[in-house]
Structure 1
Amino acid sequence: MLSGEGPWQLPGPWRLMLLGDGSPTRHLRLLTGHEVQVNLIAMQPEPNPDATAPQEVRELKPPLLRRQVWLICDSHTLAWAESWWNFDEAEKHLHNRNQPIWDSLTKGRSELFREVDGLGLVAADWLESAFGQTGPFWSRHYRFFRQERELTVIREVFSPELEKWLGPTPRQELQLCS
């Protein structure tokens, strides 16, 4: 994904949303015209990430913490996100747990690097219930780095409601470039 070679079957706005290195919460605010509300679901120790966690999570130094949130604009639930952190890094950076991660990490104008590691489609009943639409749903996972060191691994799943602003997108398996 780092090369920018992506699934060319995706329309340009969706490629930017899924493969771009900008802040998804900022994109959601710009698209909808509403502030993004972060609804914290859970933030707890994650001693043994399960097999569904991105493989990059295993590169973080334990002990780990896992944070899960819904991203809501006005009354629209537009994304679900989870992130994994080294416990000490989480304590250092996540002072306001209902604040978008991008805002927490860029306080003081610290430089960050984002690397998109994976793109996929996710099907889950609980996501269908929350989004009020049938899946599968576009998902991506990426890492934030500061001074060549991993800070966190983040996975986001996006609601098809974003098609109102980004245009329609195919939601079937695509040939993904590696």
Structure 2
Amino acid sequence: MSAATAPRTRWRLLIGVLVALGLLSAAAVGGLYWLDYEFRHPAPDSGRPGAWMSVDANEVSRFTRVGIPAQADDIRWGYKKGFQDDFAVLTFRIPQTGLDDFQGGLPVSRWAENKYIQSVDLDGFLHIGAPDPSNASPLTCGGYLSPGKAKNVATEICVASRSDGTSQVWVSAFHTP
């Protein structure tokens, strides 16, 4: 090998090593992004925090401490496993004539008009395909705290009248210390 070709070979080797390191770095960053995405978006029924679990409406009703009336229609529900606190959403429509009985059977001390719905509740209602409560007007809400096995359960109920003679009910609940 001549003296002139030796530096070129070293440069080619150096460039090859730098390209290989760049590709390895890009693969590592991509792998970390994939792992982070999998951590932030766990598969349904995985039992990992943040996973939406397959449970039936009665189980969600027991968790939220809100009974589903017999005349309820378009019942939708969801249950999300949390790291420390689980979260459940439930929504249904009932006839206007049954609204007073439904509200009277709940331990809510005060019903008030409300325009603000927490984003976690909106995300839950969106996940189950329920109507958006922030578009309902007037929206009447009430809540209560009930004892649980290890933690209390905070339940929030919102109700709005619909033009078809029914009332839409939104329920959200989560464990709280």
TM range (shorter): 0.3 to 0.5
Query: Which protein has the bigger strand share?
Result: 1
Q: Which has more radius of gyration?
A: 2
Q: What is the TM-score of this pair, normalised by structure 2?
A: 0.35
